[in-house]
Structure 1
Amino acid sequence: MKQFILFLDLKNDPELIREYEKYHEPIPEEIKMSILESGIESMKMFRFENRLCMEIIANESFSFAKKEELDTNNPKVQAWENLMSSYQKLIPGTPEGTKWVLAKNIFSLKS
C-alpha cells in the first residue's frame, strides 16, 4: 500500500467553504468510481479554516500520472474539477498544472 498526504487551500469565504463541503456529502457516484478505478482504496479530507489536507491510501498499481490520464479522458471528472476549482485557491509554491501539493514526510514514529 502507498500513502500520500496532500494540501490545498480553499478561498477564504465561509459561504464558499460551506458549499464546498456540501458538494462532498457525498460526492457524485461517477467521481467516486473514477477515484476507485485509479487504484485509490481510501481517501479522506480534513479542513482547518480554509486549509485542506487529503490522505490517499492506494494500491501498488496507483500513480499520479495514471490518475491524471484517466481524469483527462473523463468529461464528468473534468466538469467536477472545474466546479471545485471555483472554490479552491492554490498554496504559494504550487507547481504549474497542479492543485493539490504533495507533503514531504519529515518525521515518522513507529513502536
Structure 2
Amino acid sequence: MTKYKNILVVADPAQDKQPALSRAVQIARMSDDVSITIFLAIYDFSYEMTSMLSADERQAMRRGVVMQREAWIKDIIRPYVEDGIKIDITVVWHNRLMKRPLLKSLASTTIW
C-alpha cells in the first residue's frame, strides 16, 4: 500500500457531506503520521461590485465570509478531530477557484 504523508482535500461548498474528506480520513487511519488539510477557495463577485463601500469595508466583508466558511468546516471535521485525526483548515478568498488549490499543493510538495 502507498504511504501518504500529506493529503489535500478540496471541500465542496455545495455539500454538507464531504466524501473526499471521509476517504482521506480512512487513509489516515490506516497510516502513521498522516496530515490532512481541508482546503476551500471561495469567491463571490457581488462582494467586488459594492462600489459604495471602501476597500477596507469590502475586505472586512470578505473576512466575514471566510470566517463563516471556516466555522462550517470546523463543524464538519469536529467528529474526526475528536477521534484523533489531525486536520488543518485553509480557507482563502480567490477569484480563480481551481488555481489556488494547485498552488497550495505545489507549495507543500518536494520536487526532486
Structure 1 length normalisation: TM-score?
0.30
The higher radius of gyration belongs to 2
More helix per residue = 2
Structure 2 length normalisation: TM-score?
0.30
More strand per residue = 1
